[in-house]
Amino acid sequence: MAQDGDDQKETQHECVYVGSHSVEVPLDSLDQTPAPPSDELARSVSLSVLCGNRGSLKSMPHCNRRMKERNFDIFDIEYAIRNGRCVKVEYCAEYQDHKFTFRCLIDGVEFDAVFALSARHDLIKAPLMVLITGCWKTSNGDRCFRY
């Protein structure tokens, strides 16, 4: 059929479905864990929470006990996050958060700061940081001074 003097013709196409005709339940995604934030984003978010600029901070009772037993404080945790390197990241499905371990030398001894960032909270607008524990890399996990 010509259209207003054009030489173009309207063409009809026939499509044939060649897939399965049985009703199947759609496949679930193999990986349902949210992607963890990068080490640098985790550092930035956690430091902004520790400084009181945004979000909220929760300290687990386990962390409070370990602080007394192992002789470390929030400033050691902040120092390790600020100056250390991320050595481990894992997702915890039970709490729906990403657990980070940052390691740094403090007073000549390695220290691990372990914290989590909730995957249910917005990391930019209202992050939730959970302090889990800290550990000196000594034989008993306690602080020892090397001068």
pLDDT in tens, 32-75: 788 999 999 999 999 999 999 999 999 999 999 999 999 999 99
- Determine the structural domain holding residue 110 and report its residue range: 39-136
> What pLDDT does residue 147 have?
44
**Is 92 part of any domain?**
yes
Residue 32 falls inside a structural domain: no
User: Is 46 contained in some domain?
Assistant: yes
Question: Does any domain span residue 51?
Answer: yes
Three-state DSSP class for residue 103? strand
Please check whether residue 83 lies inside any domain of the structure: yes
147 part of a folded domain: no
Residues, the chain: 147
- Total domains in the fold of the chain: 1
pLDDT tops 80 at residue 77: yes
Residue 118's pLDDT is 96
**Is the CB of residue 116 less than 8 Å from the CB of residue 93?**
no
Q: Is the pLDDT of residue 104 over 90?
A: yes
Laid out side by side, the sheet with 109-118 consists of: 56-59, 128-136, 109-118, 97-106, 85-92
pLDDT at 24: 63
The domain that holds 116 is classified in CATH as 3.30.2310.40
In a domain, 23, yes or no: no
Residue 87 lies in a domain: yes
Answer with the residue of higher pLDDT: 51 or 145.
Answer: 51
